Structure 1
């Protein structure tokens, strides 16, 4: 079957103008997207939109295309009489692809620490001397390519001991829980609020033959702490999440998951957020032990008193 072809129309405008442009585009297609940057402005900020918006729409390549393009251009011209920031539109042709296959060319084995390699699921293992974690990249975070995931894997390799349990807060693709089991952990618990992460984690655990030793749950930390039957304490607890969320997790008891004498491993932290994360950890009775760096990202180990 021939690949479908669309024409993308886009403009970059202020947030105030984005709604008007979106309404105009929606007269001609249901495929309208608004993109805008996000920044974190404080420990309680979950993300604040900032900067200009890119509004784009996708038009069918059919016999009405030229008429539609003209009407959109005219509509934007009239809007520009009211709002001065509205430019002329940009049109470009986009050919549909089999993305499930085409993006695979960008994934390659990633070697982390001394023992670990992260393999895309479809690539043959050329280094059997390494522990191979096979991951199918999906929407869930954690494919091994990002510095924060690599820092987390390095810390996991350093601190996991055979026969001990492991807790992974914000488990995403399940890569850290899988690594812990392959490194000898007795069992692992992956915690995440996202249903896609639950599905991805379970599938990746099956793919690596460790599904019977990893439990994935959407329960909150307070819910786990209140359940005397669940795994709610471990000598190694890890969280690879952005700093504002790590600070919020401290507030709901993340440090309580760490067994006496155990370690809390943290990643997802920019190097200029060092003081913030140390203050949050030390405020819960944890002591700084180790810091690893890759580019602008840092990973930490904090020790809990016995």
Structure 2
């Protein structure tokens, strides 16, 4: 099926209202993208997950007359003074097949490979995670995931317990198990993520070592030797006491999903409990990691 896409520049304050208007005008879907063309995942109902200036992208059936849509948008108070937009036709193609064709095996650190489940592992004797993301985020292609995978590869995880906070596809949880972790708990607010994590764990033969929970169902006394949280800066800020409490004294923590300019604020917050290493940077993104102090 062919589509027409309209892309409008917005801000944190106006993006949600513009999104609602696009849906009222018949958009099949609306996606938020940050000003640096980095995907920001579709928010849950009632949730805004944005930072900085934002583009709002509405997807319409190819037969849609876009002139009334544009007129309605121009009439919005949020866009009345200045409306920057672009309308373009999207080629009718098998997007899922194209994505699959372009998802290749990738190496992280010294030992670890992430391999699409439909391809052969290039190094059969390496630590290979066979991945099918399904409906959940996490393939290793995003710099924040890559930063976390490289960090895990550099740890000695033998006999360690791990919590993957915001487990998505389970990529970090399964990598930790393959790298020697004794047990891993995956937490996510999205039930589809828990399903994807469990499916990928079974695909890799490590399902007995992975337990997944919605946060409301996690054990009250949950703690681990290693905690990794690859989410967004806002939740990392708001949930700092919760995430920090998951780490055993003397344990290791890694935080990602951060833009470089957000690192210092998060460093100050988590520095209350952790001795943090120098910030690891990849492009516009970064990772904070360190050891929890023993009181």
TM over 0.5: yes
Q: CA deviation at 1:138?
A: 2.8
Instruction: Give me the whole-angstrom Cα distance separating, in 2, the residues matched to 1:82 and 1:164.
Output: 58
* Residue 104 to residue 262, structure 1, CA distance change in 2 (3 Å): same
Q: TM-score, normalised by structure 1?
A: 0.75
1:142 equivalent to 2:138? Answer: yes
SS of residue in 2 equivalent to 1:215:
strand
Q: CA deviation at 1:57?
A: 2.1
Structure 2 equivalent of residue 259 of structure 1: 248
* Residue 130 to residue 92, structure 1, CA distance change in 2 (3 Å): same
Structure 1 equivalent of residue 259 of structure 2: 270
Long gaps (5+) in structure 1? 61-67
Structure 2 equivalent of residue 236 of structure 1: 226
Instruction: Give me the whole-angstrom Cα distance separating, in 1, the residues matched to 2:288 and 2:278.
Output: 6
**Match 1:246 to one of 219, 231, 236:** 236
Aligned partners of 1:36 and 1:50 also within 8 Å: no
For residues 114-263 of structure 1, the aligned pairs below 5 Å read 114-220=110-216, 224=218, 226-227=220-221, 232-251=222-241, 253-263=242-252
More deviation, 130-139/116-125: 130-139
Aligned partners of 2:62 and 2:89 also within 8 Å: no
Structure 2 equivalent of residue 63 of structure 1: none
* Residue 206 to residue 273, structure 1, CA distance change in 2 (3 Å): same
SS of residue in 2 equivalent to 1:159:
coil
Q: Larger helix proportion, structure 1 or 2?
A: 1
Long gaps (5+) in structure 2? 41-47
Aligned partners of 1:80 and 1:87 also within 8 Å: no
- For residues 166-215 of structure 1, give each alpha carbon's deviation from its aligned partner in whole angstroms, at most 9, with x where no partner exists: 11111111111111111111110001111111111011101111011100
* Residue 36 to residue 49, structure 1, CA distance change in 2 (3 Å): farther
Number of matched pairs:
275
Q: TM-score, normalised by structure 2?
A: 0.78
Instruction: Give me the whole-angstrom Cα distance separating, in 2, the residues matched to 1:280 and 1:201.
Output: 30
Structure 1 equivalent of residue 45 of structure 2: none
State the superposition RMSD in angstroms.
Answer: 3.5
Q: CA deviation at 1:21?
A: 7.1
Q: Which has the greater radius of gyration?
A: 1
Structure 2 equivalent of residue 103 of structure 1: 99
